[in-house]
Structure 1
Amino acid sequence: MENHPQPEEVEYEGLQTQSLGVNMLAGALAGISEHAVMFPVDSIKTRMQVFSAASSGSSYTGVVNAFSRISSTEGLRTLWRGVASVIMGAGPAHAVHFGMYEFVKDLAGGNQQGHHFFATSIAGAAATTANDALMNPFDVIKQRMQIRGSTHTSVLSCARTVYRTEGLAAFYVSYPTTLLMTVPFTAVQFTTYEYFKKVLNPSNTYSPVTHALAGGIAGGLAAASTTPLDVAKTLLQTRGTSTDPQIRNARGMMDAFKIIWAKDGLRGFSRGLTPRVLTHMPSNALCWLSYEFFKVAIGERSSWTAL
Structure 2
Amino acid sequence: MSADQRPLPFIYQFAAGAIAGVSEILVMYPLDVVKTRIQLQVGSGPTAEYSGILDCLKKIIKNEGPARLYRGISAPILMEAPKRATKFAANDEWGKIYKKAFGITEMTQPLAILTGATAGATESFVVVPFELVKIRLQDKTSKYKGMGDVVKAIVKQEGVLALYNGLEATLWRHISWNAGYFGVIFQIRTLLPKATNNTEKTINDLISGAIGGTVGTMINTPFDVVKSRIQNTPVVEGAVRKYNWTIPSLGIILKEEGFSALYKGFLPKVLRLGPGGGILLVVFTNCMDFFRGYYYK
* TM-score, with length taken from structure 2: 0.89
What SS does the aligned partner of 1:240 have? coil
Corresponding position: 1:253 with 2:243: no
1:65 to 55, 77, 83: 55
2:155 maps to what in 1? 163
Q: Deviations over 1:227-257 (max 9, x none)?
A: 1111111100111299xx87x4432213422
1:200 maps to what in 2? 192
Distance 1:232 1:293 in 2: 35
Q: Deviations over 1:18-52 (max 9, x none)?
A: 22221111111111222232110010000000035
Q: Percent identity, aligned pairs only?
A: 22
Distance 1:27 1:145 in 2: 25
Q: Which range moved further: 77-86 or 200-209? A: 200-209
Distance 2:281 2:170 in 1: 22
Quick one: which amino acid aligns to residue 247 of structure 2? M
What SS does the aligned partner of 1:108 have? helix
2:219 to 225, 232, 236: 225
After superposition, the Cα gap between the structure-2 partners of 1:272 and 1:241, relative to the gap in structure 1 and judged at 3 Å, is farther
Q: Deviations over 1:61-90 (max 9, x none)?
A: 100110111111101110101111011112
Corresponding position: 1:173 with 2:173: no
1:268 maps to what in 2? 261
Task: State the 1:201 CA deviation.
Answer: 4.3
2:15 to 25, 38, 61: 25
Distance 1:205 1:105 in 2: 26
1:139 to 127, 131, 137: 131
Distance 2:19 2:187 in 1: 24
After superposition, the Cα gap between the structure-2 partners of 1:203 and 1:106, relative to the gap in structure 1 and judged at 3 Å, is farther
Corresponding position: 1:298 with 2:296: no
Task: State the 1:276 CA deviation.
Answer: 1.1
Task: State the 1:132 CA deviation.
Answer: 1.0
Task: State the 1:221 CA deviation.
Answer: 1.0
Quick one: which amino acid aligns to residue 290 of structure 2? A
The unaligned stretches of length 5 or more in structure 2 are none
1:41 maps to what in 2? 31
Q: Which range moved further: 159-168 or 127-136? A: 159-168
* TM-score, with length taken from structure 1: 0.86
2:4 maps to what in 1? 13
After superposition, the Cα gap between the structure-2 partners of 1:293 and 1:67, relative to the gap in structure 1 and judged at 3 Å, is same
Please report the RMSD computed on the Cα atoms of aligned residues, expressed in angstroms.
2.6
Aligned residues: 289
Distance 2:3 2:193 in 1: 12
Determine if contact 1:170/1:237 at 8 Å carries over to the other structure: no
Task: State the 1:203 CA deviation.
Answer: 5.3
- Greater C-alpha radius of gyration: 1
The unaligned stretches of length 5 or more in structure 1 are 1-9
Distance 1:14 1:257 in 2: 41
Distance 2:234 2:26 in 1: 25
What SS does the aligned partner of 2:51 have? coil
Q: Which range moved further: 248-257 or 76-85? A: 248-257
Quick one: which amino acid aligns to residue 132 of structure 1? S
Distance 1:191 1:58 in 2: 36
Determine if contact 2:226/2:243 at 8 Å carries over to the other structure: no
Task: Give the ranges of 4+ consecutive aligned residues of structure 1 lying more than 6 Å apart after TM superposition.
Answer: none
Q: Which range moved further: 204-213 or 69-78? A: 204-213
